[in-house]
Structure 1
Amino acid sequence: MTRLDTTKLLAARYRAASDRPYLASALYALTVVPSERVPTMGVDRQWRCYVSPGFVETTPVDQLAAVWIHEVSHLLRDHHGRAERLPAADQRDARRLNIAQDCEINDDLIADRLPLPEGRMEPRLFGLDPGGMFEAYLPRIPPSHEISLDCGSGAHGVPSPWEIADGPPRLGPVEAEALRRTTAEAMRAHQRARGSLPGGWQRWAEEVLEPTVDWRQVLTGAVREAAAWAGGAVDYTYRRPSRRTPALRGVVLPSLRRPLPRVAVVVDTSGSMGEAELDAALGEITGVLGEVGVRGNRVTVLACDADVHAVTKVTSVEDVTLAGGGGTDMRVGIEAALARPDRPGIVVVLTDGMTPWPEEPTSCRLIAALIGDLGQEPPSWVETVRVGDVNAP
C-alpha cells in the first residue's frame, strides 16, 4: 500500500493558491481524504477531496497544483447542482456528464496555461468550440466506455464507490454558497488590481455576483400574480345554489364564484420586431396562461404597430395573426383592448419598448414584456419584465 506523500500534496495546493490567490479560500476549504480506490483525485458534495497516494507519487507538483484547481472548479461552479436540473436521461450517464463538465473547466485552465496531466478532456477532442458550458457540450458528446473518468459526486452528482458517508469535516450547502461568493469577490478584486483574469472565471464571477434572472420565471410570476389579482373579485351566481339553501325552505340562495380573468396580449408588430422572437415570447405567455387555467375565448391577441391590424381569440400560438410593420405606438393596442366588449382584467404588452406609454395608470393590470435592452423603461406603475434571449434554453 502506497503511503500518501502529504508534504508533496500540500505543497501543490500551496502553489495553486499562491499562483491564483483568488482561489485560495476555496482550495483550503477542501478536506483531504486519502483513498486507494480513487483513480486520481475527486471531490464529493461536502467538499472532501479524495486523493490517490499512487497518483500523488507519480505526478509532478506543478501538475498536482493544476489538478487541485480542476477539482475545486467542479464545486465552485456547482456542477452537481446544475446536473440535478438536467433531464433524467442525461443524469443517468455520469461518465458522459463528467466528460462534458471537464471540457467546461479544462479549456479555461488550458487558456490559463495550467499544466494539466495527459489524457485531459477538452472541447476540441469532440469538435466543440471552447468557452461553452457543460450543458451545451453534453448533447454532442457520445457515450463512451473507453474513457475512465470519475471526479466524484461533487461533479456529476452521483455518489462514487470510494466516497464515505461520514468522517472528516464537511461543508454544507449554505457554507458552500457563501464560499462561492467570497471567491467571486476575490476574483473581481484581483482583476481590478492586476487587470488579468481568465475569461471563464471572469464570466463565472459576474454570474455569481450579478446573477442573470430567468425572464421566463419572472414573467410566469407576474402573469400568475396578475391572474390571481384579476380573478380575486367574486360574484353571486344562481347556477350553483348555496349549500345553505336546503336549510331555508322555499328560498334559493346564490353561491359565490371566482371568475377567471380575461387577458389581452398586445403584440408589437412594428418593423423593429423579429418574427422568431415574437413567436417564442408569445408562446411563453400563452403557455403560462394555459397553466393558470386562462385559455380559449378568454385570451385575445392584438397585433399592433401604430394601429391595430388583427384581433384573434387564441388557444395556441398557431392561431395568432401577426400583421403590421409600420411605426410603433402600443397605446393604441392597449386602448383597443380595453374598449372591447369582453374587457380584459390583464393586458400583457410584448414589445421592444420603442413606444410611448399611457400617461396614467390603466384600470386593469398592465404587464410589459420587453424584448432586448434598447427600449426605454415604461412608467413605474407598469409591471416590467426584461426578456432576454428567447431562443436560449
Structure 2
Amino acid sequence: MTPGTRGNPAAPGTPAAPGTPTAPRTPATTAASAAPETPVPNRAPLALDLDKLYTARLQAARARPYLATALFALHTVESRQVPTMAVDAYWRCYVSPGFVDRTPVEELAGVWVHEVSHLLRDHHGRGERVARTRGLTGAAERLRMNIAADMEINDDVFGDGLVRPEGAVLPSHLHLPAGELMEDYLRQFWLGPRTAHLVWLDCGSGADGSEREWDLGPDGADGLSEQQRDAVRFRVAQGISGRPGSAPQGWRRWAEEAFHPPQPWRELLGAALRSATSGPGAGDDYSYGRPSRRSTGLPGVVLPSLRRRPPRVTVVIDTSGSVSDAELGSALLEVAAISRTVGGRRDLVSVVSCDAAARIAHPLCRAEGIPLIGGGGTDLRAGFAKALGGRPRPDVIVALTDGQTPWPSAPPPCRTVVGLFPRAKRPRYNEDNPDYVPDEPPGWARVVVIDG
C-alpha cells in the first residue's frame, strides 16, 4: 500500500473475522481518482513532473541520510497504470504523473522513503515465502500482505523532518501493537468493511512478491542485479550501524540482522535446515480435512490423507563456559533466521539453553528476548532429551554448539542439524587416557561449521 492515497469506502469488503477491531474513518478519494489514469479525449496526457519528484527525493535523503544510497539507487519509470507510486523487486520505482501533480513535495518525500523501505526489508522475498508456506493466493491475500508490510514500515518511519503522507495506514488504525513484523500482522487482521478504504492502494510487486501488469521484469532495462541489491542493503546497514542513535528502532533492528558480510556457512546452514524441514516425514501428518481418494473404494469408510503442515523446530543452544558471548549473539541471529525459514511462524520455533543441564524450552517471541542461561560444563544430551520431551514433539532439532560435548548414543527420531562454532585447535588425544576419543558430531547429524 502506498501512503498518500485513500481508497473507496463505497467498495464492499468481505465479512470481517470475529473480533476484528474497527479502524478510524479517514477521508477517501473516489475510485476514479485512485484507479490508473485514463487520458481525456482532446487533452494531452499530463507529463511527469520530474523536478518535483526529484526535489522530494532529495528532501527524503536529507531527512533520512542513512537511506540516501537506497533512494538514489531507485530508477524512476513513468507509468499511467500505477495508482500512485510502486516498486518492483529489481529496484524500479513506477510513478503516476497525476499522483505527483496532486501530492505536496513534503508528502512525496515520505512516499519515497516508504517505497524504498519495502525493498530494503525484502518484503517481496518474504511475501513469496509466506504465500508458499501459508497457501495465500489471490488478490485479496496480496492486498492483506501489502497492508501488513505497510504497518511494519509506517509505525516508526515518519516524523523528525519527514511528513507522514495522508492516508498512511498505521498499526493503531487497526488497534494492533506497533513494532511487529509483516508476518505477525498477517495473523491479526482480515479484510472487511473496516479495511475497505484501503482497497485501491498498491505498492507493487516489491511489497508482496506478486508481479504486476506494469512490471518490466528481470529482463527489462535499468534493473539492479542481485549483487547490486545486496550491495545497496549493505551500505545502508553500514550507515545505520555507524550512527545508530539517528535511526528508529525498527531500522536498527533491521541493520543488526543485515549488517553481516556474505558468508558461505550461513547459506549452508539455511540450506541444511530447509532440506531437513522439507524432507519426507518432516511436518507430515494424517488429516480428515481432505479425505483420501482411496475412500471411494470403501463405501461408508472415510480414510484420512497425508497432509504437510509447517514443521516444528527446536533450537538447542550450547550455553557452557566455553562458548563466548559473541557466539551466543550469533546463535540468536540464527534463531531469527530459522523462524524465517519456516515462514515466519514463531509459534513453531522453541529454544532450549543447555550447558550440563537443559533449561526451560522457550517459545520464540523475539530472538533478543530469549534468556540464555548457563556457563558451566557441557552435555547436550540433556538438551536433546528436553527437546524430544516437549509436546508436540519437534520435526527438526538444530543444535548450535562448539562441539565439546558428549552426544546422544542413538539418533533422535527426527532430523538433526548441527551448527558448529569453530575452534582453532581441537584436542585429538589425551596423554592421561590412551582410549580418548575426541567429541565429534555424530554421523546421523547434518553438520555445518559456523566460520565467522
Report whether the alignment pairs 1:90 with 2:136: yes
Q: Which moved more, 1:89-98 or 1:122-131?
A: 89-98
Report whether the alignment pairs 1:103 with 2:151: yes
Q: SS of the counterpart of 1:24? A: helix
Q: How far did 1:59 drift?
A: 1.2
Q: SS of the counterpart of 1:32? A: strand
Distance 2:176 2:148 in 1: 11
Report whether the alignment pairs 1:163 with 2:215: yes
Aligned to 1:175: 228
Q: How far did 1:127 drift?
A: 2.0
CA deviation map 1:84-135 (0-9, x unaligned): 1114322532111100110111112136563122211111122211111101
CA deviation map 1:156-200 (0-9, x unaligned): 111223333565411122211111111111222233xxx321111
Distance 1:303 1:81 in 2: 35
Q: SS of the counterpart of 2:216? A: coil
Aligned to 2:88: 44
Extract unaligned runs of 5+ from structure 1. Answer: 224-264, 278-301, 319-329, 351-357, 370-382, 387-393
Summarize the Cα distance change of 1:269–1:75 in structure 2 as closer, same or farther, 3 Å threshold: closer
8 Å contact kept, 2:110–2:158: no
Report whether the alignment pairs 1:119 with 2:167: yes
Distance 1:157 1:130 in 2: 24
Aligned to 1:199: 249
Summarize the Cα distance change of 1:272–1:9 in structure 2 as closer, same or farther, 3 Å threshold: same
1:203 is aligned with what amino acid? R
Q: How far did 1:12 drift?
A: 0.5
Q: SS of the counterpart of 1:273? A: strand
8 Å contact kept, 1:37–1:52: yes
Distance 2:76 2:171 in 1: 29
Q: Which one of 241, 262, 270 corresponds to residue 188 of structure 1?
A: 241
Greater RCO, CA 8 A, separation 6+ = 2
Distance 2:232 2:61 in 1: 15
Aligned to 2:182: 134
Q: SS of the counterpart of 1:90? A: coil
Summarize the Cα distance change of 1:304–1:168 in structure 2 as closer, same or farther, 3 Å threshold: closer
2:106 is aligned with what amino acid? D
Question: Any residues of structure 2 matched to 1:1-393 within 5 Å, and which?
Answer: 1-88=45-132, 89-92=135-138, 93-110=141-158, 114-144=162-192, 146-147=197-198, 148-165=200-217, 168-191=221-244, 195-210=245-260, 273-274=359-360, 317=393, 337=409, 361-362=437-438, 365-366=441-442
Summarize the Cα distance change of 1:2–1:275 in structure 2 as closer, same or farther, 3 Å threshold: closer
Summarize the Cα distance change of 1:72–1:216 in structure 2 as closer, same or farther, 3 Å threshold: closer
Q: SS of the counterpart of 2:158? A: helix
8 Å contact kept, 2:154–2:170: yes
Distance 1:63 1:269 in 2: 54
1:2 is aligned with what amino acid? L
Distance 1:6 1:158 in 2: 27
8 Å contact kept, 2:63–2:161: no
Distance 2:165 2:235 in 1: 29
1:162 is aligned with what amino acid? W
8 Å contact kept, 2:86–2:204: yes
Q: SS of the counterpart of 1:8? A: helix
CA deviation map 1:310-366 (0-9, x unaligned): x99xxx949xxxxxxxxxxx86x86xx49xxxx99xxx899xxxxxxx985447645
Q: SS of the counterpart of 2:246? A: coil
Distance 2:417 2:237 in 1: 37
Q: SS of the counterpart of 1:121? A: coil
Q: Aligned pair count?
A: 276
1:153 is aligned with what amino acid? S
8 Å contact kept, 2:356–2:380: no
Distance 1:69 1:44 in 2: 15
8 Å contact kept, 1:11–1:61: yes
Q: How far did 1:53 drift?
A: 1.3
Summarize the Cα distance change of 1:271–1:51 in structure 2 as closer, same or farther, 3 Å threshold: same
Summarize the Cα distance change of 1:156–1:216 in structure 2 as closer, same or farther, 3 Å threshold: closer
Taking structure 2 as the reference length, the TM-score comes to 0.51
CA deviation map 1:277-304 (0-9, x unaligned): 7xxxxxxxxxxxxxxxxxxxxxxxx997
Distance 1:37 1:202 in 2: 35
Distance 1:153 1:349 in 2: 34
Distance 1:364 1:187 in 2: 40
Extract unaligned runs of 5+ from structure 2. Answer: 1-44, 278-315, 317-351, 364-378, 395-404, 419-428, 431-435
Q: SS of the counterpart of 2:93? A: strand
Q: How far did 1:222 drift?
A: 10
